[in-house]
Amino acid sequence: MEDSMMLGVEGIRKTILHGGTDDMPRFVTGTKVTFHFRTQLCNDEHTVIDDSKKVGTPMEVVIGNMFKLDVWEILLTSMRIGEVAKFWCDVIHTGMYPIVAKSLRRIADGKDPVDWHIHTCGMANMFAYHSLGYDDLDELQKEPQPLYFVMELLKVQQPSEYDRESWALNDEERLKAVPVLHGQGNKLFKQGRFEDATMKYKEAIVCIKNVQSKEKAWEAPWLKLEKMANTLTLNYCQCLLRMEEYYEVIEHTSDIINQHPGTMKAFYLRGKAHMEVWNEAEARADFIRVLDLDPGMKKMVKKELAVLKMRMDLKNEEDRLTYKGMFTKPSEEQETLERELPDQEILEQPSPEHDGTPLEKTYEEQINLEQASLLQTTLANMLLETSQQMDSSRPADMTPENVIPEETSGEQATTEERNAVDMIPEQSPSEQTSPEEISPEHAVQEPMSSEQMTLN
């Protein structure tokens, strides 16, 4: 195996790494070629940039289809099936490789290689964003250099041996396919097969964009294709509306409006999408713009605005009820708790017979203790008024301050308790008894237990 210049082609050297089989295939316009490729830098390491075998999917090219990297057609048509060859290509043949590689990498990542919803061609996009999205390709774009291409030819099919997809068509064939795809999409839409319809519309748009990319922007041929693409894009958006892909509708219609602000249907579809995602102001503005562009749409706009108002009224009412429930529900629960549970202070009120340790009693028991404590406090106050002549020898730990628990507030006393207090007769000073003569019924008693007292 030795290097040899290919006859009639400047800047290419070929090295056969593995010989092919059979005779040379017949390559004509429309022949589909399937192959693997590996791209390497011309440095000491022969750094690999792209490798279709690592991706797991071979490449396909249709001869004569104006593939962007036309040097590959030259390389492939010099090979036999099963052959593996390494080609050195000078910089005059590799200038477009970064753009081609970007599309191939997007395909490998499962993305659409054609950003058809952006209304500029690929070269314009590149200069607008100053990047291809990959650092190594940006470097090659900035400083073109020779490259190695290692090719393995897998299969060669004549035009009659395969069904040609839209990407495999030439420009004339693409333009002929557009109305066919358009009609198929409309038929699927009427059948309610919206996802299938989107595929037809999108395929037609890709055909138009491939042809349009070769025209000069904003000139008559370009504008004619642009109008065709916009019509298909709006049909695509109608499918998306039925599929409830509202934000994608807003994206595509906004792109059309930015480029062509007089497109009435774009405003109408965007307004409907805004309405579905509760963007009231945006939807209303779009519908009003529809009326400005086409007064004949007055009846339709009036209907859409009425639907918008109804939907927003319903949503506002739902929100009001939701927020009302959020704020009132805790209050109702709190009222229920207040009815069912005693005051925290009552629950934690210490009892002298438990050395200040709060008792865990039932609500009924706590009320009984409260009433007993109130009655006891009332009796103690009466005794205080008549005990000024008591013997000073009384033990200190028997004074009322040590025996009688803390007074319960008047607000907590029940009617029966107040009546009980009123029934106790007051003693006049002349009737005051001495400590020694205090009768048992006047003496301060220990509070009765919860088992001995019930609420009246």
pLDDT band at 371 (very low <50, low <70, confident <90, very high): low
Tell me the CA distances in angstroms from 203 to 181, 198, 408, one per residue in order.
7, 8, 86
Average pLDDT over residues 429-449: 37
With the CA atoms of 8, 50, 104 and 9 taken in that order, what torsion angle do they form, in degrees rounded to the nearest 10?
Answer: 0
Instruction: Locate the DSSP E strands across 319-430.
Output: none
The fold adopted by the segment(s) 12-117+131-157 is: Chitinase A; domain 3 (3.10.50)
Residue 252 pLDDT > 70? yes
Q: What is the pLDDT of residue 262?
A: 94
Of residues 437 and 24, more confidently modeled: 24
Cite the residue boundaries of each domain of the chain with CATH code 3.10.50.40: 12-117+131-157
- The 8-class DSSP code of residue 350 comes to B
Q: Report the Cα 308 to chain-centroid distance in Å.
A: 24
- For 40-58, what is the mean pLDDT? 93
Q: How far apart are CA 35 and CA 154, in angstroms?
A: 5
* Cα 275 to Cα 251, 297, 300, 313, distances in angstroms: 15, 18, 15, 13
Band (pLDDT 50/70/90 cuts) for residue 326 is: low
Handedness of CA 273, 274, 278, 284 (dihedral sign): negative
Per the DSSP assignment, residues forming a β-bridge with 41 are 147
Residues spanned by CATH 1.25.40.10 within the chain?
Answer: 171-316
Mean pLDDT, the chain, integer: 75
- H-helix or E-strand containing 37? strand 32-41
Where is pLDDT greater, at 269 or 131?
269
Query: What is the Cα–Cα distance from 273 to 278, expressed in whole angstroms?
Result: 9
**At 319, which helix (H) or strand (E)?**
helix 298-340
Report how far residue 233's alpha carbon sits from residue 41's, in angstroms, rounded to the nearest whole number: 40
Largest Cα–Cα separation, the chain: 146
- Residue 193 in 3-state DSSP? coil
| CATH class for the region spanning 171-316 | mainly alpha
**Residue 394 confidence (pLDDT) above 70:** no
Task: Tell me which residue of 228, 253, 238, 257 sits closest to 198, measured CA to CA.
Answer: 238
Q: Which residue has the tokens 């195996």?
A: 1
pLDDT given at position 380: 59
**Where residue 14 falls among pLDDT bands split at 50, 70, 90?**
very high
| Mean pLDDT value across residues 208-212 | 90
